[in-house]
Structure 1
């Protein structure tokens, strides 16, 4: 597969757009697509003109997860070992790549989001979905395996263990509207509005201070593992450093002048 055919790359100002582009098969996470994604993310990480990323799918689906049709046992060894090796060397690093980018990431879920595609979508900082979209975890009820690519980590934190466990066991479709109500995603919009709404969201995030994504990810991940006194100390330590940075000075000046702040890029 040609990487340029399975992953469409675009730019709108400071926003980079990546589109999963295997629409006839509902954008499965083939090995070539994962490799193309990792290569694109590595390039964007080094491109200091990029200030936000928008990830979406082409066609009727965002991503339906693993490419089950291509999975076959190797001549020597087991299919399980082969799959775990691929996850550790390619799929899991892909999620870590997205979570550690030096700029905010938006997932625009344009349709079906199933299997490992759920972990891919939820790895973004902000998720917006079309009203017709849905989230589906077929792992256990259909295949006898556990959710992967971080799905369990995200779901437990975003919607709580009771809902995460029931979704994983029952395999019900979770509509975009219900996902918004549960707090799994930021917003649900009409299908025709999704491209413009997602881009506007990414452009707003691109205007943030250059360190916004990294700092906000870190502070909320710390909040999930620390006691309140520990988190209060953590917040004070971050303010100790951040208040002395140029972004804070620009924010104060803009506030006093009653104008929008203009923060420098990366």
Structure 2
């Protein structure tokens, strides 16, 4: 997608960083977003292509951060064409042990951040009048939970992202703005650095966990698929469909 500008939240490491790298490889401009300014600066330096990279540090749960991401895209590259809502958190914890503070944190980072950042981007896309593409990141656990992986707080926040995707696909179609979602299964990423991620391979029909690059491929497809909107693309190795024996 040469010449377009993509805003990628949560892009200082893992899936978000790989998505940003892939857009750059396609000669797109990229605005990186993340909470930690130092990590974000290191990520930007590692990507190279300084003429096509901007970065904005801030709390994704704040409307000001979404507005700053859009402002950076406009000031550096003249507008915004794609938003990838990748920022968020996810960790298991039994339902009755989740604190109100933890629940609020997931709702703010995963759902409110996606909602507010999308608002800022959609306002700009409407001003530009050329449509656009929004790709959200959800989770297959919204559709198929795992008894041994209790994660009600992050899953309920991601469930809101799934619902938002469907609602906005309908509301924004008249503006030429497409809204889709990638729903990953277990992916080998920094999110699972503290556990033996390969132990979860049996959850999928393909009997392995996914790689970051496989999520990136799905994001790039949806970002450019001009006749696809309101779709949740599972990248889960068949986790929802069945089980490997």
Superposition TM-score, scaled by structure 2 size? 0.34
Computing the radius of gyration from Cα coordinates, the structure with the larger value is 1
TM-score using structure 1 length: 0.32
